[in-house]
Structure 1
Amino acid sequence: MESDSVSKSAQVHADTSFYRRALYTFSGAHFLNDLVTTGMVPALVVMYKHALHLNYTQSTLIVLVSYITSSVIQPIFGMLTDRRPRVWLFSLGVFLSISGLALTGIAPSLGWLLLFIAISGFGSGVFHPEASRGTHFASGSKKGLAQAIFQVGGNAGQAFGPLMIPLFLIHTGIHGLIWLIPIAFLSLILTVPLLRWLNGKVQAGTKKKTIEGENNIPGVIMLILVIILRSWCQIGVVIFLPFYMSHLSIQASETLNFIFVGAGALGTLFGGMISDRLGMKRLLVVSMFLATPFALILPHLHGVLAVLDLLFFGFSVLSSFSVSVVYMQKLLPKNIALASGLSIGFGVGAGGIGSVFMGGISDVFGVATVFTILSVLPLIGAIISWLLPNEKTLGKTA
């Protein structure tokens, strides 16, 4: 009996120590994945255009293919892996996302370029559901904090992606992307050792006859609306800020975008840290409501005041990013991977589609009208968040 007690104690200690290792591995892999997909791909469009002599329509196909393969169909991967988990997709996904982008450096034509972009996007699409499921298993009772650590990795990758373009390619041109191949193999060294642990968690979960809690479809629909509004707001600022502040240089505009997204990464971490105490619904409402005044005054500010506003705007509007993932998992306790696909992938994809819609508005009414629309999106999101069911009434996830 004593040896059994010692054995159980040792196992608990091992699980506790491996919890941190797993969590930071998921976050690190998320950084590498989003660095090359949502971070570098949009910033590389100009270089692809010049290297392959593309027109604007052909150039937009690059982003469209990337968004469709990496984000829009991510919920489909989530549904498939909920029925039959495939933990190896975690490692394969991040490997394909990096190596696919690396191969675009030697693409001889638009067709080959789109194929390699699709491979990279596909890798990102299959990576996210399994990585988010693994974060769920590794989180223990601190769901919000764990998901925040995971999401900060992705947000940091998005922020640093554009900054890598001049640093990495200034001397090599587009062909220098092929040197990302060693990083792709490095990702395997980082992720493969975790597969045995992840498979054990998945197998333990499938042995349970029932999963506590029922799927709340009305709540899912409302939360998806909030995620879409937040994504439109985020991507709208990133895409249209350089056009709106056309008096600034491209480098200055990219710096402002980095400030906005970087502040959002800090907000994501902070939101996850306090959500386990404050409550997820309350944090969603407060964060979206606080973002509203900063969104309203942004078009009227310049210089240092604009920088400060972007800091507070990004921090507040994205502080609910990781919380919405955990909230969706509570609303869909029987479909954890699908919940991740809806809250992460679909949100990003919807933002890309929304950017096209806002682009049409800017062509007709001007960029200033886009920023007027962006200023009211957080307020609408706050109202819808207030209508969400309280997470304490949703039952427990597995």
Structure 2
Amino acid sequence: MTQATTAPAPNEPLYRRAVYTFSSAHFLNDLCTTGLVPALIVMYKEALNLSFTESSLIVLISYLTSSISQPFFGMLTDRTPRVWLFTAGVFCTIGGLAMTGAATSFGWLLIFVAISGFGSGAFHPEASRGTHLASGTHKGLAQAIFQVGGNAGQAFGPLMIPLLLIHTGLRGLLWLIPIAFLSLLLTAPMLGWMKEKVADAASKKKEIRGRNNIPGAILLISVIVLRSWCQLGVVVFLPFYMTHLSLAASETLNFVFVGAGALGTFIGGIFSDRIGLKRLMIGSMLVATPFALLLPHLHGVWTVLILLVFGFSVLASFSVTVVYMQRLLPRNIALASGLSIGAGVGAGGIGSVFMGSVADVFGVATVFTILSLLPLAGALISFFLPDDRTQAV
């Protein structure tokens, strides 16, 4: 693989204002998709009298509308930049989920969830590319800050159940509408800078001689899919597995799992700049494997400790896979971002429906047996990824 002939100047600084703005918007976006939607499944199921399979379909619609649209938005904006999608996307994500609080039927619920999903699909490629452009020579750190915002949103999503929605019911989601309008004040000031940086990057694109590594990208997507099945499977089915606990207690355990993952995302991004992307991916998933195997067999305080280490390790590669995909597809940065984030989101939705069907037939315990093997499979595939140090930056 030929390396790019142009690279950022040595020690090019991080544009912190931009990176932290993208991260904050990512927090709001993922709070309302991968954070709240899986956590709300129990409440949606009870309110509309749904089966496990129908409940899982809500996650599928949310994640597929987001993931299928992300690569298309990425390809579209690689050709003709549309930085306004960064602002419009997060607005629709929050507003769409807010309206599910007023849904009177399963059909309307799916429509509002789909609007939220398409908003997320529009948001991610532009926000991730903006982070790439603001990163200077600190690619791993910048993506870690950006992704930890999203993972923190995922973590706080389940926590909103015991803190708010148990007391207000689903109609409490309507309080997200003012937050949707406040998000415009956060994101709109960055649009001028984004337009200028994207135009500058486009003018330099012809100088880059690095080629896209399609086989490597396919292998990386496979790893992302397995990790997503594992992560979302735990979040969706932990409340159904921990039947001896209240809904508030089980959602608090989900907060522990995803919150530890947010910390792992940040630490993993920092260390990836030092030890390399591939090594970090293999190591994190190998570390996660024994804790995934132990999770279904331990109880009490041991469950909390297992979820802490399991969440930290399995999500330590979250930001790493975005940077890795951008190196494998240097000519299509927005597409690379859409694939690396979108593939995981969509795969998680598909996996949730599959796991829901397994739970209906064989029980939730079987689901956790399957989930415990996924990190090991991801680590094995990661061994065959191309050396990230030979890819274009």
Give, as a single letter, the amino acid of the residue that structure 2 aligns with 1:148.
Answer: A
Q: Which residue of 1 aligns with 2:93?
A: 97
Establish whether residue 149 from structure 1 lines up as the match of residue 145 from structure 2: yes
Please tell me whether the aligned partners of residues 59 and 352 of structure 2 are also in contact (alpha carbons under 8 angstroms): no
Identity of matched residues, %: 73
Q: Which residue of 1 aligns with 2:240?
A: 243
Establish whether residue 333 from structure 1 lines up as the match of residue 330 from structure 2: yes
Establish whether residue 270 from structure 1 lines up as the match of residue 242 from structure 2: no
Establish whether residue 174 from structure 1 lines up as the match of residue 162 from structure 2: no
Counterpart secondary structure, 2:372: helix
Counterpart secondary structure, 2:220: helix
Q: Which residue of 2 aligns with 1:310?
A: 307
Q: Which residue of 1 aligns with 2:32?
A: 36
Per-residue deviation at 1:122?
1.1
* Structure 2 unaligned spans of 5+: 1-8
Please tell me whether the aligned partners of residues 73 and 346 of structure 1 are also in contact (alpha carbons under 8 angstroms): no
Aligned-partner Cα distance in 2 for 1:111–1:299: 35
Scaled by the length of structure 1, the TM-score of the pair is 0.90
Aligned-partner Cα distance in 1 for 2:220–2:364: 28
Per-residue deviation at 1:376?
2.1
Of 264-273 and 252-261, the range deviating more from structure 2: 252-261
User: What is the count of residue pairs matched by the alignment?
Assistant: 381
Give, as a single letter, the amino acid of the residue that structure 2 aligns with 1:381.
Answer: G
Per-residue deviation at 1:80?
1.4
Aligned-partner Cα distance in 2 for 1:274–1:58: 41
Please tell me whether the aligned partners of residues 56 and 353 of structure 2 are also in contact (alpha carbons under 8 angstroms): no
Establish whether residue 204 from structure 1 lines up as the match of residue 215 from structure 2: no
Establish whether residue 344 from structure 1 lines up as the match of residue 341 from structure 2: yes
Question: Within 5 A, what are the aligned runs for 1:1-398?
Answer: 19-49=15-45, 51=47, 53-56=48-51, 59-208=55-204, 209-396=206-393
Call closer, same or farther: CA 1:357–1:60 in 2, change over 3 Å.
Answer: closer
Call closer, same or farther: CA 1:354–1:302 in 2, change over 3 Å.
Answer: same
Deviations 1:46-66 (CA, angstroms, capped at 9, x unpaired): 444555x45436554433321
* Structure 1 unaligned spans of 5+: 1-11
Aligned-partner Cα distance in 1 for 2:235–2:39: 11
Of 67-76 and 110-119, the range deviating more from structure 2: 110-119
Call closer, same or farther: CA 1:166–1:304 in 2, change over 3 Å.
Answer: closer
Aligned-partner Cα distance in 2 for 1:178–1:243: 26
Counterpart secondary structure, 1:207: helix
Call closer, same or farther: CA 1:113–1:233 in 2, change over 3 Å.
Answer: closer
Call closer, same or farther: CA 1:45–1:289 in 2, change over 3 Å.
Answer: closer
Per-residue deviation at 1:173?
3.2
Per-residue deviation at 1:342?
1.2
Please tell me whether the aligned partners of residues 41 and 63 of structure 1 are also in contact (alpha carbons under 8 angstroms): yes
Please tell me whether the aligned partners of residues 87 and 198 of structure 1 are also in contact (alpha carbons under 8 angstroms): yes
Deviations 1:327-374 (CA, angstroms, capped at 9, x unpaired): 010001111111111111111210121122223333444333332222
Counterpart secondary structure, 1:140: coil
Aligned-partner Cα distance in 2 for 1:60–1:375: 20
Scaled by the length of structure 2, the TM-score of the pair is 0.91
Aligned-partner Cα distance in 2 for 1:50–1:246: 15
Of 109-118 and 378-387, the range deviating more from structure 2: 109-118
Of 229-238 and 148-157, the range deviating more from structure 2: 229-238
Deviations 1:144-199 (CA, angstroms, capped at 9, x unpaired): 11101101110111111122134333454333322222211111111111000000
Give, as a single letter, the amino acid of the residue that structure 1 aligns with 2:333.
Answer: I
Per-residue deviation at 1:111?
3.9
Q: What root-mean-square deviation, in Å, do the aligned CA atoms of Structure 1 and Structure 2 show? A: 2.0
Counterpart secondary structure, 1:334: coil
Call closer, same or farther: CA 1:359–1:308 in 2, change over 3 Å.
Answer: same
Aligned-partner Cα distance in 1 for 2:344–2:32: 18
Aligned-partner Cα distance in 2 for 1:239–1:59: 10
Aligned-partner Cα distance in 1 for 2:212–2:329: 5
Call closer, same or farther: CA 1:36–1:88 in 2, change over 3 Å.
Answer: same
Call closer, same or farther: CA 1:55–1:330 in 2, change over 3 Å.
Answer: same
Higher RCO structure, 1 or 2 (CA under 8 Å, sep 6+): 2
Q: Indicate the structure (1 or 2) with the bigger Cα radius of gyration.
A: 1
Call closer, same or farther: CA 1:393–1:122 in 2, change over 3 Å.
Answer: same
